Amino acid sequence: MEIFAAIAFFAGILFVPVFLSLLSFFGLFIAVQERTSVVFTLFGKVIGCIDEAGLHSPVRLLGMRALLVPFFGKRHFVSSSMRQSYLRNQMVNSEEGTPMGVGIWYEMKVIDPEKFLFVNANPDQSLEANVANATVSVLSNLEMETMLEDRHSLSRSVRSHVSPLSEKWGYQLGSVYIRKVAFTDAQMVHDITGKVVKRLVQVTSAMKQDGENRVGLIRSQANRRVSEEMARAMAMRPEVVGNMLNEIGGKDPEIRDAVITVLETEKLIEAKPEVEIVALGGGIEFVKQV
């Protein structure tokens, strides 16, 4: 009995997938994945579309015609997830006649599966060609400065040119962005690089000279302030010394006289006068001459 039970168990495991596959093949149910649409055609005509994820019964939605689809029709699975694409080196000429290579990135998704399948035989290639043509049309004969700096507004212009036609093919165009604008002439790239290097050298020299001028100005102002403070201190020195001598003389005149005598002697020594010795009576007296 246990052997028969095991055989029945494994037979059931094999039978269930086969049974479900047969039901799906005959169109009794269908499982739709996220961001996927299923278009049903019968005898070359579209009879319905399911664009919601989950388990669905085509018979309930399409009627008894759904049972004829496996034999006389077809089920088309279309992904509606967002996709990105990047076009490199789209050649345009600037207003100055300079050849430029443009790289443009864009994203798109399918919003109408029926138009995507039957309006255009190759909607992906057609959308790519449409984006490339719109890029060349919008950017050609623009100033080089505009191409290099106004990418956001130019990207919006390309998107506005492409969107109406892409919607006819079942596409919704998402973000469009011009990612790269490059020179294609090697000699021109070399010339521009040389000009940029020269300009950088000029700017660097100007910045260095400006810094030196500022340092010189600060140093000059500092020296002037030091000189002013020193002159003010020298001007105040006699007044301070005189006040101190008056204060000392008021308390002890002998000390004041001694200080004055010392100061006079220092001045006399600093002046290095010629000295003559004159004999008067029995002594000797020094006579100074300045």
Give residue 23's pLDDT: 79
Q: Which tokens in the block code for residue 149? A: 């700096």
Give residue 62's pLDDT: 86
For residue 110, the surrounding DSSP H or E stretch is: strand 99-110
- pLDDT higher than threshold 90 for residue 215: yes
What integer is the mean pLDDT of 105-111?
Answer: 93
Q: How far apart are CA 38 and CA 77, in angstroms?
A: 5
Q: How far apart are the first and last CA of the chain?
A: 149
Write out pLDDT tens, residues 60-101: 888 888 888 888 999 999 999 999 999 988 888 888 787 888
- pLDDT higher than threshold 70 for residue 289: no
Q: How far apart are CA 73 and CA 49, in angstroms?
A: 13
Pairing of strands 83-93, 45-50: unpaired
Give residue 281's pLDDT: 58
Give the model's confidence band at 282: pLDDT under 50 very low, under 70 low, under 90 confident, else very high: low
- Distances from the Cα of 187 to the Cα of 95, 178, 192, 195, angstroms: 19, 24, 9, 12
What integer is the mean pLDDT of 211-237?
Answer: 92
Q: Which residues pair with 91 in a beta bridge?
A: 101
Write out pLDDT tens, residues 115-144: 999 998 898 899 999 999 998 888 888 887
